[in-house]
Structure formats: C-alpha cells, structure tokens
Chain A
C-alpha cells in the first residue's frame, strides 16, 4: 500500500523535472494511503448497495447456491430468475399477505418514529437548557447520568426493559405500590393499539360486524381496506408493546441528543441572554424567544438523525418481541430480516431494504439541504 520509497534525489537534471517527479510521487503516496480504506468501503458498502438492487429483481431464496446460476430451460435447477419489478409490486401494490406485512411494518415504524422523535427531542432540549444554567451544580453528574444509557449495548438494554416491564417486574410493582387497585398490564404481550384504547375511551368502539363493512354511501368506513389493511387498523396507533419499546428508545437516546444540544447551547454568547435579562425577560421568555429560535438548526439535525435512527429500529424488536404480538412490533427493518432469513425470500427482502433505503435517503437529503443552507458549506 505504501508507494513512497525515498524522496527524489538531488540528481534530477532540471528543477522542473524534480517538481514533476515530486508531484507524481505525492500522488502515488496519496493513492496508496487511501487505497485500503477505499477498497473496504467500496467493496463492503457501495458494491453491496448495487448487489441489493440487483437481487431485488430476482426471486433468489438465499439458500440455493448462487453459482448454479440463472434458471433457464437448460438449467432448471438454477438459483434464481430475474422477475423484473415483481418484488416491488408484491410488497407495494399487489393485494395480499406480503403487502399487508409491508404496510403493517411501515405503519408500525411510522407510529414509532412519530412517538419517539418529538418526545426525545423535547426532553433533550429542556434538559440541555437546565443543565446549561450557570447556577446548576454537578453538571458533570447529570451529563454522565443521561449519557450512560447511550453507551450501553442495545441488547443489554432490551433485556433490562424486558425484565422491568415483565408481569411481575419493577414497573408493575411500582404502579401497584402507588395504586393498590391497579390491574397489572402485560406490557410486552399486548397488541391493543394505544389510539384504539383512546378511541374506546371516548366511545368509538366499532363492533366486529362494523369492522366487516365498507360502505362509503352510508359512511360505514371502518372495514374499508387500504393496502390490505382495514381503516380501523390503520388508526390503531402503536400497540402497548410497541409503546414499551418506544419508551426504551426515548430513554436511551435522550442523552445523546442532550449532549448535541449542550454543545450548541454553549456556542450562544452569554451577552445575548444578559441583554435580554436586562430588558426584563423572564427565564421562560429567555427559553422561548432566545434559546429555541437560536437552536433551530440543531433541532433540525437532532430531529433528522432521530428520524433516520427510528426508521431503522431492529435490535430491540429482535430481542424483545420478534415482531409480535400480532405483528404489532413488526418494523420495516425487522421485516427485511424476517423475509431474508426466516421466509427465505432474499429477493423480496432486498426489495424491502431498497424501499427503506429510499425513504431514509429522502430524509437524509432534506437534512443535508437544510443544514447546509443554515450553516454554510462546511464539509
């Protein structure tokens, strides 16, 4: 990898030649230095993206050796066949079980992101604001306490939460202690949607029969299917179990987001606050009219990376629920894994992954565009 040998000797005939020689040598050294990194990143990140794109157009099962090649009339035992956009059609457009799985996963992932991102961002912002106050003692302690969960493995945290939210776990025990008439909730095996529970609470409680009917003329819409999922089920909200996983992730991520906010807060000159204080602004006004607007670019950053992370949630689902109960914690990332390795539908899994990539890519591009506009071209 190292191309550089010795520096050009003084024996070069002309200055110009020496100069050219030196440039060429520097270029060789530069390429040599970067080659290992480039080969690895190119080979294991960029090429795989194209491989995924290619295999999303096939019906490979992931088990038959690829070496057997394309299925043709002469080679009926081949490994795969090109099926065009059929995999995309199956998950996105064609009514059926696969479409239902995909949109269920998408629905769950969206509810998850909508719940997790705003809450963790708001918590992180308020906490960073309080921790940044000059009068606060023990800043280091709070930063440590909030940041520690982010360095802990997701598997460890999943196990801890499984225990805490188990039927006889810490959470139920604590609630029973505060409220003796509490009927313990089975957090991790509860498919009821939280929005459904809310709607039941205000009297919207469709019967089984109502869920079978779809008749727009009489405004009986609960049973109407959009993308193989009934309208009523679209409006489920995250299930109680999914809500538990959401709590876990909010709990874990607050620290990271708070540290990002703190770094940004420390760059706001204290004169700005002093001037406002002199003008008689209260602390709430300082927060509302100075901190929040000045931190807007940071907020945008925190929201987008939060969103990108939320769209990829996998580890917690794998460890805690495997997508259950009743597929209510099935996320798109977990669906990719399940199609690939449990259902042996590698082609379908690749197509699902590409769709997820496109969704995440759109958010990344929006983030880059806006961050660049607000902070100038830096990278």
Chain B
C-alpha cells in the first residue's frame, strides 16, 4: 500500500513536493521512535541506577557506564562515600548495596510467597477453568445458557468494588490473612473459562465421538484426549494467570496486608517506601523493582505471541 508512495515518483516531481509527500511518513516514524525511547529509557535507567550507591543516584542519575568492579558504598569508618568518589561524567562505580539491602529486608520470602501464590492460583485455574469451559462448550445441561451468562457477567464487576465485601466474607470464613484466603477466591476466572470455551468449540467433535464409541467416559475423554491437544489455550491461560497474580496488588493488600510473613513481592515493595523515613532509599527501591520484574520479563520474552493474542481475546470477551 504505502510502499507505493515511497517509490521514486515519476519524472518531473520537484524535491519540495517529494518532501511533502514523504513528510507524514517521516513524522510518523519520528513519533514512533520518540515514544519507543520514552517507553524503554525508564527501564534501562532503573537497571543502571539499581546498581549505584545512593549519593551517586542523587548526584548523577544519568551516568550509565559502569567502571571497574563493585564497590562498597561506605568507607572503613562506615561513613557514606561522597558522590564525587563514585561518578565522573557518564561513568559510575557500580555497587550491589541496593540488592543487599532489599534482600536483607525479607525479599526472598516475598519472592517465595509470590511464587507459591501465582503457582497455586494458576494450577487451580487450569483445572477449574478448563473443566468449566468444556462443560459450556460441549455438554448439554439445564441452565447452560444462564450459567454462561452469569459467568460472563462477573467480568463486569470491578475489582475495586469487591474490596469491602471480600474482606467481610473472608473474615467471616476465618481465612483472612491466610494463603487459602488469598488463593481460593481467585481460583477460577471468567476470562479463563471464556478462553477455554472458545478453544474447545474449535476442536472437531469427531475426536470425542470416536472415544465415546470406544466406551470412554467423559472425564477420561477430557483428560486423555481433549486436554493434551489444548496446549495453546492452556499456555495462554497459564501465562495470563501468572502475569495477573505476579502483579496482583489490591487483593493481596486487602487479604494478607496485615500479615508480613505472607506478603507477596508487590506488597513487600510497596512497604519499602517508609523504610528510610524522610529520605527515600532509591537503590533499595530500584533493586527490588528489578528483581520483581525479571521473572515476568523472562516469561514475556519466551511467550510473547500469547500475550499479544490474549489481548485480542480480551477484546472478544468484552463483547
């Protein structure tokens, strides 16, 4: 399409009009490049500054070239080194102080809690959502349509509105401040059910009919035949669930917020704010931010395709 306009125009076109024809493309490209830089730069400088001593972050946040090996941020007497000793121009002396501090603040525990939480919710969702999706896609039972409608309807309930009633309900059930309280309410989700239902509907019925003729029960058919060929949908479901739970903040805050031993990474990070009183210890923050982001970055780069497809799916569910 537009490739046509980029070709050399025929004959007598003056260079001025050539420029005018090309200008929107050039401007568009420029806009794209600027936004790309703006989207990436914060991450780059977060990683760079997470490996600096606090005075260096405050004095020269832009310095991005590490020089020499890692240094201690304090001298022999335990006094902080001045910024001038650790930066010059665009170079800085790297330090692991931020990482050491954040690890000393219980980060390994938060990390483990996040892993347990995300894994538990995801395993539950894989099982429960796919069973429900299969039921809606293939099995005839009274109230089928109504149940599907109710499930889709839950997509319209905004999370914010649930904070008060969930707190009340979990408190009454006696599972506030427990893993169960955090995991069970999230163990199924309408989006996952919708995703699985859509996928199962695309599988040819003959597969199951053949199994049925052989005398296999529905449950056997589901686990032996349907699930093994559903890897694409299950992968998408897994990735969305892991991403959602790894980044989940509000549910964790309401349900386990007052029990520090159950804090997840996001809760732990949000607690770092008050760590230094009036002064904000940026290298501590930034190191925590980097450690929290790395696992999601790995998942993202390994399964990028699914993220992109999933977004289009969410568009479908919204209809």
Interface residues of A (CB under 8 A from B): 1-2, 4-7, 23, 26-31, 33-34, 36-38, 40-49, 51-52, 55, 62, 66, 123, 126-127, 129-131, 133-136, 141-149, 151-156, 158-164, 166, 168-170, 173-174, 177, 251, 254-256, 259-260, 263, 270, 273-274, 277, 282-284, 286-287, 298, 301, 305, 308, 311-312, 314-315, 318-319, 332-333, 336-337, 340, 346, 349-350, 353-354, 356-357, 360-361, 364, 367-368, 371-372, 375, 378-379
Contacts and interface: CB of A to CB of B under 8 A. Distances in A.
Interface-central residue, B141, B216, B272, by most chain A CB under 10 Å: B141
Given A26-B141, A155-B269, A301-B318, A44 B164 contact: no
Given A62-B167, A151-B297, A308-B158, 10 more contacts: A33-B132, A42-B150, A45-B154, A45-B162, A133-B2, A141-B36, A153-B296, A169-B61, A251-B39, A273-B1
A364 B288 CA distance: 36
A287 to B, nearest CB: 8
A148 to B, nearest CB: 7
B136 A34 contact: yes
Contacts of B5: 277, 282-283
A170 B219 contact: no
B120 interface: no
Interface in B292-319: 292-293, 296-297, 300-301, 304, 307-308, 311-312, 315-319
Interface-central residue, B1, B166, B282, B311, by most chain A CB under 10 Å: B1
A76 to B, nearest CB: 22
23 contacts: A7-B212, A34-B147, A41-B150, A44-B166, A48-B162, A51-B165, A62-B167, A133-B2, A135-B6, A135-B25, A145-B39, A148-B300, A152-B296, A156-B266, A159-B269, A159-B286, A259-B312, A260-B312, A308-B158, A312-B159, A337-B163, A346-B168, A371-B318
B61 A170 contact: yes
A151 B311 CA distance: 11
Contacts of B86: none
B160 A353 contact: yes
A6 to B, nearest CB: 6
Interface stretch (B42-50, B66-74, B87-95): B42-50
Contacts of A333: 160
Nearest to B43: A148
Interface stretch (B8-16, B184-192, B229-237): B184-192
B280 A162 contact: yes
A142 B31 CA distance: 12
Interface string B1-38: 11111100000000000000100110011011001101
B32 A37 contact: no
B96 interface: no
A25 to B, nearest CB: 8
Contacts of A144: 301, 304
B243 interface: yes
Contacts of B134: 33
A301 B316 CA distance: 10
Contacts of A30: 135, 139-141, 144
B217 interface: yes
Given A4-B219, A44-B166, A277-B5, A159 B289 contact: yes
B247 to A, nearest CB: 4
B277 interface: no
A55 B40 CA distance: 45
A193 to B, nearest CB: 25
Nearest to B136: A34
A346 B319 contact: no
Given A23-B140, A173-B61, A301 B42 contact: no
B224 interface: no
Contacts of B6: 135
A10 B131 CA distance: 28
Given A27-B141, A33-B134, A146-B35, A336 B163 contact: yes
Given A34-B147, A46-B154, A129-B28, A379 B317 contact: yes
A37 B312 contact: no
A223 B217 CA distance: 75
Interface residues of B, number: 111
A33 B253 contact: no
Contact of B184 (A27, A44, A51, A170): A44
Contacts of A4: 217-219
A159 B288 contact: yes
Given A41-B188, A169-B61, A353 B307 contact: no
Contacts of A5: 217
A156 B43 CA distance: 10
Contacts of A27: 139-142
B128 interface: yes
Contacts of B204: none
Contact of B1 (A141, A142, A274): A274
A151 B243 contact: yes
Contacts of B1: 133-134, 270, 273-274, 277, 286
B217 A163 contact: no
B162 A145 contact: no
B199 interface: no
A146 B311 CA distance: 13
Contacts of A349: 164
A362 to B, nearest CB: 11
A334 B252 CA distance: 15
Nearest to B291: A156
Contacts of A160: 42-43, 46, 286, 289
A130 B217 contact: no
